[in-house]
């Protein structure tokens, strides 16, 4: 999928937090787009800035005391300029989020019926709680819950992790949003339930035409779910490609190292680790942040490499692919 209306556009987005020990430059010139009906993955190690990026898109990141630059546009509007009133009609309706831990995201003192009906009423799909109940029941059935009445009458702590995750997906999709942000859905679940959850989310979003930005560190999940992939390292996007191209011909040294780190069931060629450590955000290296760990590092890596298109739709931010380096 390479065409369509852009419903999310992040341009040169940088975030620097002031801390007692000094400024922490967490996001560094992030560029990312999602088109209508497209499934896009943002991949990288833990603490690389993926969740901060997603929370900034939906207005849940506390950036009031941060130094922010760039543009984060949803449906053509820069959400960095939004106030609370500007989110009405967008967040929870056209733009929703599935959080990583369903137990933390769902309110333990309200039943599933209370929480799901509130979402339905907010989306103007019903006028009263009584009208919302058949919609809630049908929505739970659509995510494979065979006893929706029991689930509606339950509290989150009375349900399993898998059921709570399905409830979260149901709440995110019940108002038929244009874009869903999925922050590592199913990570806290066992691998079988996680696979079922992602397959369910893929099928439901295909039926509704909903676009998805999937946050993940699991390359296997990404390979079976996404149309396109962005690879993030220490707050910077280092590579962008369609999923087939990325796995068949990764270009950035970090992407290659990440793929080599994936365990293989055959037992042949034990996975390689990536030497070194993720940089300190208070004092990141100049230029390419992966350079201190890269086997191909050179003096020119001390300048921030622009994204170079090496094939249609395949961009990599590495000096190895700049025209002067290739000449």
Residue 284 lies in a domain: yes
For 288, the 3-state DSSP assignment is: coil
pLDDT tens by residue, the chain, 327 residues: 445 789 999 999 999 998 887 889 999 999 999 999 999 999 998 889 999 999 999 999 999 889 999 999 999 999 999 998 999 889 989 999 998 888 889 999 999 999 999 999 988 889 999 999 999 999 999 888 999 999 999 999 999 988 998 899 999 999 999 999 999 887 666 777 777 778 888 888 888 889 999 999 888 889 989 999 999 999 999 999 999 999 999 999 999 999 888 776 666 655 677 888 889 999 999 999 999 999 999 999 999 888 999 999 999 999 998 775 544
Dist CA 259 CA 271 (whole Å): 9
CA 136 to chain centre: 26
The pTM of this model reads 0.91
Residue 128 lies in a domain: no
Residue 66 lies in a domain: yes
Nearest to 182 by CA among 64, 63, 98: 98
Residue spans of alpha helices (H) in the chain: 50-57, 102-105, 112-122, 129-142, 148-152, 161-173, 191-208, 219-225, 243-248, 253-260, 323-326
Strands 77-78 and 228-233: unpaired
Residue 116 lies in a domain: no
Nearest to 169 by CA among 121, 241, 219, 97: 97
Q: Residue with structure tokens 């739970």?
A: 140
User: Which residue range is the domain that position 282 belongs to?
Assistant: 6-85+94-101+179-326
Residue 131 lies in a domain: no
Residue 30 lies in a domain: yes
| Domain count of the fold of the chain | 1
Residue 155 lies in a domain: no
**Domain containing 71 — which CATH number?**
3.40.50.300
Residue 65 lies in a domain: yes
């Amino acid at each position: 999928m390479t065409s369509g209306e852009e419903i999310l556009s992040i341009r040169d987005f940088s975030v620097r937090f002031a801390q007692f020990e000094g400024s922490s430059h967490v996001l560094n010139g992030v560029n990312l787009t999602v088109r209508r009906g497209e499934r896009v993955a943002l991949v990288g190690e833990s603490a690389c800035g993926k969740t901060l990026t997603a929370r900034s898109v939906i207005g849940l990141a506390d950036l009031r005391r941060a130094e922010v630059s760039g543009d984060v546009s949803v449906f053509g509007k820069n959400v960095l300029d939004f106030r609370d009133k500007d989110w009405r009609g967008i967040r929870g309706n056209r733009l929703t989020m599935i959080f990583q831990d369903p137990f933390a995201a769902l309110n333990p003192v309200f039943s599933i019926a209370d929480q799901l009906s509130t979402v339905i009423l907010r989306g103007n799909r019903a006028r009263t709680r009584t009208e919302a109940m058949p919609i809630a029941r049908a929505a739970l059935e659509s995510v494979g819950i065979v006893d929706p009445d029991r689930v509606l009458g339950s509290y989150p702590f009375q349900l399993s992790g898998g059921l709570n995750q399905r409830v979260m997906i149901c709440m995110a999709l019940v108002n038929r949003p244009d874009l869903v942000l999925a922050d590592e859905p199913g990570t806290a679940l066992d691998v079988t339930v996680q696979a079922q959850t992602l397959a369910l989310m893929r099928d439901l979003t295909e039926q509704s035409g909903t676009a998805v930005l999937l946050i993940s560190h699991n390359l296997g999940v990404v390979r079976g779910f996404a149309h396109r992939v962005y690879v993030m390292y220490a707050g910077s996007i280092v590579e962008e490609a369609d999923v087939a191209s990325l796995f068949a011909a990764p270009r950035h040294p970090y992407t290659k190292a990440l793929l080599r780190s994936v365990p293989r069931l055959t037992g042949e060629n034990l996975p390689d680790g990536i030497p070194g450590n993720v940089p300190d955000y208070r004092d990141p290296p100049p230029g390419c942040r992966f350079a201190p760990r890269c086997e191909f590092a050179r003096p020119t890596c001390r300048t921030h490499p622009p994204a170079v298109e090496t094939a249609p739709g395949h961009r990599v931010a590495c000096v190895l692919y700049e025209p002067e380096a290739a000449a």
